[in-house]
A and B are shown apart, each in its own frame.
Chain A
Amino acid sequence: MSLIPRSRTARAHILFLAVPILLFGAFYIYPIAASVRLSLHDWNGFSPDQRFVGLRNYAALWGQPRFINAVLNNLAWVAFMLTVPTGIGLALAAILDRGIRGETMFRIIFFLPFTIPAVSVGAIWRWMYEPSNGLLTTTLELVGLGGLAQNWLGDPDIVTFALMGAVAWWTTGFAFLVFFAGLRNIPEECIEAARIEGGSDWQIFWKVSFPLLWPSTIIVLGISAIDAMRLFDVIWATTKGGPAYASEVLAVQMYDLAFGRFQMGRASAVAVSLLVLSAVVIMPYIWYMTRRVQDAEVE
């Protein structure tokens, strides 16, 4: 029996499937496999020689407070990204969905920060957070709340929270836009029916609109979680993970080890650890959400 189908249509299907599978293998599977292989070697990134060291790179990492700190920071970012920008985006979308005046202008204002490149976001907030004369400190002093001003990017205890503020400003526009589009796609008759039944605005939102926003919610939460795990550019542009590793996440540590310290093997071990951590944190969510969508479609 020949493995090549006789039907011309079937052969076309195989051909069309082969292209994405080859691309997926070349640009996704192969780099992952190469990273795993590299994580078992000692290599400075420039030498023709790579020395096999087994699991030594992993052993060195997992005993380091620096690595543990970066993992915890990543988990904190996941919790933050799933709640704050998402929550604010949902609230803004719900407010604007009520048809207030200047809706178009507000839509642009809310979404505009998301169009700014990450490096520029870092530069903007580097100045916003300047601890003596920055916009935030100056504003707090002007309204008599100077006592709340902090060493925003220089205090190891608060630098991550300060960065979260910058990222919230940057990414909320995305959540807002997806939720807003979702709200506008909810059939008007559902809202009308709830209103005729005597539901308040609050009840209509939580009992009718929000459940119908599930597809939008899945997109926003899924992308937010992935963004949190691969977060790099804003932190690198703003603090480079400092002061003294306080704001470092795994992607920043990976970059520092690879190109700041010529430790490509250990950087690959960080990359593989990040991949595993992302899979553990995000895959159950994606599986659960996918099941919920399927269930909702069945219902």
Chain B
Amino acid sequence: MNRTATLALIAGAAFAGAPAGAQETYEIWHYYAAGSELAGMNAMIENGNAASDDAVFEGVIIPGNVVELRRQLQSAMLGGQPPAAYQSSMAFELRTFVDSGQLHPLTDVWNTVNGDEIFPEGVQRVVKIDGVPYGVPYDLSLINNIFYNKEIFEELELDAPTDWDEFDATCAALSEAGYEPLGNAGGPFWSLYNFYAPLVSVVGVDGYYDLASGELGFDSEEFSTALDLYAEHMVPCYADNWSGKTWTQTADDVVNGDTGMFMMGIWVAAYFEQAGFMAGEDFDMFPAPGTADAAIFQMDVLAVPNGPDDAIAAAEVFIEAAASTEGQAAFAVPKGSLAPNVNVDPSVYGYAGASFSEQFSAASEAGKVLPNLFFLLPTDVGTELGVQIERFAIDPSDETKEEVISTLEAMRQSALEEDAFLNW
């Protein structure tokens, strides 16, 4: 057989392998690389594939976190080859991409799924930019709960504290009995999330949003008082060497019975249960003092980049499936988070999820659903707030406090000059 004939045969075989009307494959980018998170995403993608006849959805893991995902997105978007949809943070993250002309408005699919009906008002405000929805939520986690080791609490006959005085007494009792009272972990997120409890205690819901919109200064009396409250009640309660641990290492300390309490996002409940440490039996949780009737949450959404029409149409089919009660439960149950869709039956959750769902509903009714401040602030200011609160948690001296306030206030003034703050 000569060379021309061989090439013709190969070409013919190639065409024969691609039947007419084959389903197109569309990529969904995310950074859930392992464990319960990956299980949740895989279940949601499976749900999307079941809902689509014409498209196949494929999850693409971008190892790392939102920072690595942004790096990949930059190349893809500037190169004109973005994924059909991707995992995005809420609020300012969406704003940045919308202002850059990179996101497709999701008005049509939002109306199809009755977004204004199925998602609570507090959730809607962080996915809409100038009233237009650019993200559809699927993964909501509360971050104002303190988890505790039940065996330790029962041994010491402790009850879940409800205010700062009781919290101090609980810390003292744990410490006297030889336990580390309150776990924490290094990095710009965890101390900041802990700090929200004293912050909300001092500034309330309105002050929280004022801080997010740049109206309340970091040099204000209220912010200073919140730092004092944090330094007085939470920082002395922290476990030794907390800043050298990851959150999973600290969670292990709770499971192992070394640490009594741990304030962390509700994803830690899934981590505990994967370790055989069961909700209601081995651990339980209570809202941090000052946030008893509130729900501070963070959320991931599905965003759709501007791209070819067929990719956008496919992404909207995927999102419609993801926003349904089945799609939301498919992700939230294995992941250990809450479904933002209020129509999801709470009975799909276990003990922990049902408790969080009840907490979120009560906070919604009370008008105290607060999105994570980190994502409400301009990205630079939010990130710096996390770094500075960790710095203060490591060294809560007056000198550090002054430096923290002056650093953050300088950034607020700079952001005000650039008109960077938003009213959420």
Contact = CB atoms under 8 A, between A and B. Distances in A.
A78 interface: no
A41 interface: no
A263 B383 CA distance: 12
Given A154-B241, A255-B67, A263-B380, 19 more contacts: A45-B74, A46-B73, A46-B74, A46-B102, A47-B100, A48-B100, A132-B245, A151-B241, A151-B243, A153-B243, A154-B243, A154-B244, A154-B394, A242-B188, A243-B187, A244-B387, A259-B74, A261-B379, A262-B380
Contacts of A44: 96, 99-100
B176 to A, nearest CB: 19
Contacts, number: 89
B241 A131 contact: yes
B408 interface: no
Interface string A230-259: 000000000110111100000000011011
B186 A242 contact: yes
B186 A154 contact: yes
Contacts of A244: 387-388, 390-391, 394
A129 B246 CA distance: 11
Contacts of B253: 132
A107 interface: no
A155 B244 CA distance: 7
Interface in A113-139: 126, 129-132
A222 interface: no
A260 interface: yes
A46 B100 contact: yes
A240 B97 CA distance: 24
A156 interface: yes
The 8 A-B pairs of least Cβ separation, nearest first, read A154-B244, A154-B243, A131-B241, A244-B391, A46-B100, A47-B100, A151-B241, A131-B244
B394 A243 contact: yes
Nearest to B74: A45
Interface of A: 44-48, 126, 129-132, 151-156, 239-240, 242-245, 255-256, 258-263
10 contacts: A44-B100, A45-B70, A46-B102, A129-B244, A151-B240, A151-B241, A153-B243, A259-B68, A261-B379, A262-B380
A46 B96 contact: yes
A154 B390 CA distance: 11
Interface in B134-193: 186-188
A130 B245 contact: yes
B77 interface: yes
B97 A46 contact: yes
B28 to A, nearest CB: 19
A181 B299 CA distance: 55
Given A245-B387, A261-B380, A262-B379, A153 B67 contact: no
Contact of B67 (A48, A152, A259, A263): A259
A259 B68 CA distance: 7
B242 interface: yes
Contacts of A156: 394
A154 B241 CA distance: 7
B252 to A, nearest CB: 8
B3 interface: no
Interface string B98-113: 0111100000000000
Contacts of A260: 67, 379, 383
A16 B247 CA distance: 55
A117 to B, nearest CB: 12
Given A46-B77, A154-B243, A259 B71 contact: yes
A154 B70 contact: no
Contacts of A153: 186, 243-244
A45 B379 CA distance: 13
Contacts of B220: none
Most buried by A among B96, B243, B394: B243
B249 interface: yes
B241 A126 contact: no
B186 A130 contact: no
Contacts of A126: 246
Contacts of B243: 151, 153-155, 243
A152 B243 CA distance: 9
A130 B244 contact: yes
B183 to A, nearest CB: 11
Contacts of B242: 154
Nearest to B71: A259
A48 to B, nearest CB: 6
Contacts of B282: none
A243 B187 CA distance: 6
A261 B245 CA distance: 24
B387 to A, nearest CB: 6
A155 B388 CA distance: 15
B258 interface: yes
Contacts of A131: 240-241, 244-245
Contacts of B97: 46
Interface string B63-75: 0000110110110
